Amino acid sequence: MDLKAYLHEKRLIVEQTLQDLMLTPQGLLAEHIEAMSYSLFAGGKRVRPILCIAAAESLGTDLNGLLPVAASLEFIHTYSLIHDDLPAMDNDELRRCKPTNHIVHGEAAAILAGDGLLTMAFEILSAPQLRPTISAEKQVRLIHILATAAGPQGMVGGQAIDIASEGKEIPFTTLRYLHSCKTGALITAAVQMGAVLGDADAEQYQAFTDYGRNIGLAFQIVDDLLNVESTTEQLGKAAGSDAELDKATYPAFFGVEETKKKALNAVAEAIRALDGFDGKADPLREIANYIYYRKR
């Protein structure tokens, strides 16, 4: 299959869905909506929504009418980037080659843009418009998966541990847990949500979960590698910033070569998790590979 064409096609669909879901900047809310839109439409690769779509399609389910479910993941992801970049957090001034939200809109507006996007994800998932395409039971389940993955025992918790660990020596087990929360949880939620939409049985759901955990791990390891290896221009944000902040990373623990092996191993595990699926799961398999090769 042509992964590049697949990703391009899906990205356009996600992009259109995000446009449909985002409010029009007007009246007193214009500035707030512009601040949210600035980051939502800053050229993200839409990995999480695409994973959700690909998981549902692996089970033969067409997401037509349910694309807002996939798009809700991007609202959560975007909010997390805005808050992570804040001066009090990673203090990043560049993201995807553009000034970060607080640089353009100011710190207060950026915090609120993040809060707004986070809340909108749950507005979208609970919208009456999704019915009767899916049952209320499914809606609740999707919301619970997303909230749990984004909450204290998932993404936010991971970020809190990350911030608290800065400048401290942490054991590898802490780094691994931190990664699984900060990056892994939302990526896993993406495929789990696709699985729910595709009516996965318990065994299939577990397979998708294993796939998600492994590509989440690969994703974060590759992020660490890119931060060490790339230039700022290639990365679209400040390169080498992890080392500067004394952050624990895979390369810091294992060196670059061993880290690459670990990333490749996680990719292989992810693909193995899909053994029971037919060719409809090829996009998920290809995406797993792509995670290792992105921007190389």
The least distance separating a second copy from the CB of residue 114, rounded to whole angstroms, comes to: 8
Query: Toward a second copy, which CB reaches closer, 40 or 281?
Result: 40
Q: Judged by CB under 8 A, does residue 153 bind a second copy? A: yes
The least distance separating a second copy from the CB of residue 112, rounded to whole angstroms, comes to: 5
Q: Which of 3, 94, 160, 228 binds a second copy (CB under 8 A)?
A: 160
Q: How far apart are CA 96 and CA 257, in angstroms?
A: 26
Under a CB-based contact definition with an 8 Å cutoff, are residues 225 and 256 in contact?
Answer: yes
Q: Which residue has the tokens 């749950």?
A: 122
Q: Judged by CB under 8 A, does residue 179 bind a second copy? A: no
Whether residue 132 is preceded by a cis peptide bond, meaning omega within 30 degrees of 0, is: yes
Under a CB-based contact definition with an 8 Å cutoff, are residues 2 and 36 in contact?
Answer: no
Q: Judged by CB under 8 A, does residue 9 bind a second copy? A: no
Q: Judged by CB under 8 A, does residue 244 bind a second copy? A: no
Applying CB under 8 A, the span of 5-13, 120-128, 211-219, 282-290 interacting with a second copy comes to 120-128
Applying CB under 8 A, the span of 174-182, 205-213, 232-240, 273-281 interacting with a second copy comes to 174-182
Q: How far is CA 95 from CA 6, 56, 167, 170, 265, in A?
A: 25, 30, 23, 27, 29
Neighbours of 106 (CB within 10 A): 13
Q: Judged by CB under 8 A, does residue 245 bind a second copy? A: no
The least distance separating a second copy from the CB of residue 183, rounded to whole angstroms, comes to: 16
CA torsion sign, 246 to 248 to 249 to 252?
Answer: positive
Q: Judged by CB under 8 A, does residue 111 bind a second copy? A: yes
Q: How far apart are CA 11 and CA 71, in angstroms?
A: 11
Query: Toward a second copy, which CB reaches closer, 46 or 138?
Result: 138
The binding track of 18-37 with respect to a second copy, each residue x by CB under 8 A or -, is -----x----xx-xxx-xx-
Neighbours of 134 (CB within 10 A): 16
Site for a second copy in 48-107 (CB under 8 A): 79, 83, 86, 88-89, 106-107
Q: Judged by CB under 8 A, does residue 151 bind a second copy? A: yes
The least distance separating a second copy from the CB of residue 110, rounded to whole angstroms, comes to: 8
Site residue total, a second copy (CB under 8 A): 56
Q: How far apart are CA 2 and CA 218, in angstroms?
A: 22
Longest dimension (CA), the chain: 54
Strands (E), the chain: 94-95, 98-99
Q: Judged by CB under 8 A, does residue 177 bind a second copy? A: yes
Q: How far is CA 115 from CA 86, 163, 239, in A?
A: 13, 19, 27
Q: Which residues lie below 8 Å from residue 287, measured CB to CB, with a gap of 6+? A: 3, 7, 47, 50, 51, 54, 215
Q: Which of 122, 205, 253, 254 binds a second copy (CB under 8 A)?
A: 122
The pairs formed by 160-163 with CB atoms below 8 angstroms and a separation of 24 or more are 162/247, 163/89
Q: Judged by CB under 8 A, does residue 125 bind a second copy? A: yes
Binding residues for a second copy, per CB under 8 A?
Answer: 23, 28-29, 31-33, 35-36, 79, 83, 86, 88-89, 106-109, 111-112, 114-116, 118-120, 122-123, 125-128, 135-137, 139-141, 143-144, 146-148, 150-153, 156-157, 159-161, 163-164, 174, 177-178
